[in-house]
């Protein structure tokens, strides 16, 4: 979606400035360089008559820190981590094929929805295959649990200081 911010100064003359900021569906992801191979990943595979540039455009509509133009080469690969859910996402695509691995099934679902919507707009038929790893949800919850416990402990310590 788009976030519209109207900026109005306190002083005269009264005027208003509009700033628009694009918020991407997976905006809480950030690029990283190493994939944790010890995690349980869900898999989304897409096949169809799309170019690398089209898939790159669709991926850049979902995720931050993706360059405007796809890098040179036949295969493109990016790794992301979610700053909120502590999950990982590995995107790999080439002409006619794309594969997305994530330990968070919600991330896979969002990618699937956004990419199929964009492909439908361009009348590109996609073969979609998903493999859901049953252990992935439990591992994400375990990571979040430890993070929440530390946040609660910190909040209690701050409360004691006040």
The pLDDT value recorded for residue 38 is 92
* Rg of the chain (C-alpha set): 20
The pLDDT value recorded for residue 11 is 87
Does residue 83 lie within any of the structural domains?
yes
Q: Taking the model in full, what pTM does it have? A: 0.84
Q: CATH no. for residue 73?
A: 3.30.310.200
Which pLDDT band holds residue 39 (cuts at 50, 70, 90)? Answer: very high
Q: Residue 89 contacts by C-beta under 8 Å, 6 or more apart in sequence?
A: 26, 29, 63, 79, 80, 81, 82, 100, 101, 102, 104, 107, 111
Does residue 6 lie within any of the structural domains?
no
Does residue 157 lie within any of the structural domains?
no
Does residue 64 lie within any of the structural domains?
yes
Structural domain count of the chain: 1
Buried b / exposed e across 11-37, counting CB within 10 Å, b at 16+?
A: eeeeeeeeeeeeebebeebeeeeebee
């Amino acid at each position: 979606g788009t976030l519209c911010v109207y900026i109005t100064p306190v002083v005269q003359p009264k005027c208003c400035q509009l700033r628009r900021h694009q918020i991407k569906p997976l905006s809480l992801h950030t690029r990283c360089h190493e994939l944790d191979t010890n995690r349980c990943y869900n898999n989304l595979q897409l096949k169809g008559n799309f170019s690398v540039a089209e898939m790159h455009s669709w991926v850049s509509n979902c995720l931050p820190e993706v360059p405007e133009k796809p890098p040179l080469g036949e295969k493109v690969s990016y790794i992301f981590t979610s700053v909120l859910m502590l999950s990982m996402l590995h995107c790999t695509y080439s002409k006619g094929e794309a594969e997305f691995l994530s330990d968070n099934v919600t991330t896979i679902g969002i990618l699937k929805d956004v990419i199929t919507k964009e492909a439908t707009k361009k009348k590109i038929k996609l073969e979609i295959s998903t493999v859901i790893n049953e252990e992935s949800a439990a591992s994400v919850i375990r990571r979040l649990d430890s993070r929440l416990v530390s946040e609660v402990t910190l909040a209690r310590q701050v409360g004691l200081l006040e």
